[in-house]
């Protein structure tokens, strides 16, 4: 089976300036899964040296507990001639309008209030950088043509729509984005169901069985005792 994978990913690298928290790890994982080239620094003081050596398209800056330092960094970035086309998006920590006003006064291109939704952050980035639609992946071989459209949550096989549930789609997209990688049951539960598997939980097995019935048995294989993988050439 000859397989080709194509994804529409942002061309310009991104710089995330934020502490290492579960919230930020979730954001970084989402952006990486969407095809972004992401560099992550945890301190504002590390941002400018990185920017000096990285052709970055945008900076995602979390104001954290030090709003003043974030605003100063934003102002420094936007004031530098070499960064004049760089987009800066600040992630706010409060719902107070004065924080948002201060961010725009410092030169920010956008301001996103909490609670953070990684997909919203990405779409705002895409709007600012004119990114193409993300997550649209096409898998093709000499016999079949499988299209997974992340934007529309749609699957097509041989140019025919394949009805799938939301979880079936997310499971398929997760594995297809990294063909050949064996995903453990724990990984799949964490990424798709956002929980740990319970004893004798057959949820994944049921969803895999449904996908095989709809797509055929060639795409998803079982690694006995470990998990599942999406097949590539």
- In the chain the domains, ranked by start, together with CATH numbers, are 9-129 (3.40.50.2300), 136-230 (1.10.10.10)
- pLDDT range class, residue 199, cuts 50, 70, 90: confident
Judged against a pLDDT cut of 50, whether residue 132 lies above it is answered with no
pLDDT for 134 equals: 38
If residue 110 lies in a helix (H) or strand (E), which one and from where to where?
strand 110-112
pTM, two decimals, is: 0.54
pLDDT at 53 over 60: yes
Whether 95 shows a pLDDT value over 80: the answer reads no
The pLDDT of 16-31, averaged and rounded, is 91
Element (DSSP H or E) covering residue 16 = strand 14-17
- Measured between alpha carbons, how far is residue 33 from residues 18, 52, 92, 112, 209 in Å? 19, 26, 23, 21, 24
Judge whether residue 55 has pLDDT over 80.
no
pLDDT for residue 8: 44
Give me the pLDDT at residue 88, please: 93
Per-residue confidence (pLDDT) for residue 12, from 0 to 100: 66
pLDDT over 50 at 228, yes or no? yes
**For residue 200, what are the contacts with CB-CB under 8 A and spacing of at least 6?**
none
pLDDT band, residue 1 (cuts 50/70/90)? very low
Averaged pLDDT of the chain: 82
- Angle CA(47)–CA(53)–CA(54) in degrees, nearest 5? 80
Arithmetic mean of pLDDT, 154-174:
88
C-alpha span between 167 and 15 (Å, rounded): 31
Q: Is the pLDDT of residue 143 over 50?
A: no
């Amino acid at each position: 089976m000859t397989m080709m994978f194509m994804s529409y990913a942002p061309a310009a690298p991104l710089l995330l300036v934020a502490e290492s928290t579960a919230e930020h790890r979730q954001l970084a994982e989402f952006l990486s899964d969407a095809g972004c080239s992401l560099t992550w620094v945890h301190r504002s003081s590390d941002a400018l040296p990185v920017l000096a050596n990285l052709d970055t398209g945008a900076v995602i800056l979390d104001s954290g507990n030090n709003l003043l330092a974030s605003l100063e960094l934003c102002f420094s970035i936007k004031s530098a001639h070499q960064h004049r086309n760089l987009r800066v998006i600040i992630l706010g920590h409060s719902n107070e309008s004065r924080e948002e006003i201060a961010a725009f006064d410092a030169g920010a291109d956008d301001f996103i209030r909490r609670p953070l939704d990684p997909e919203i952050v990405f779409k705002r980035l895409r709007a600012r950088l004119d990114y193409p639609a993300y997550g649209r992946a096409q898998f093709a071989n000499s016999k079949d043509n499988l299209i997974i459209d992340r934007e529309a949550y749609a699957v097509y096989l041989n140019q025919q729509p394949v009805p799938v549930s939301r979880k079936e789609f997310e499971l398929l997209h997760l594995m297809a984005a990294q063909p050949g990688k064996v995903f453990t049951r724990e990984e799949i539960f964490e990424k798709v169901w956002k929980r740990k598997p319970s004893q004798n939980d057959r949820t994944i097995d049921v969803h895999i069985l449904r996908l095989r019935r709809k797509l055929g048995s060639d795409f998803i294989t079982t690694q006995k005792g470990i998990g599942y993988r999406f097949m590539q050439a």
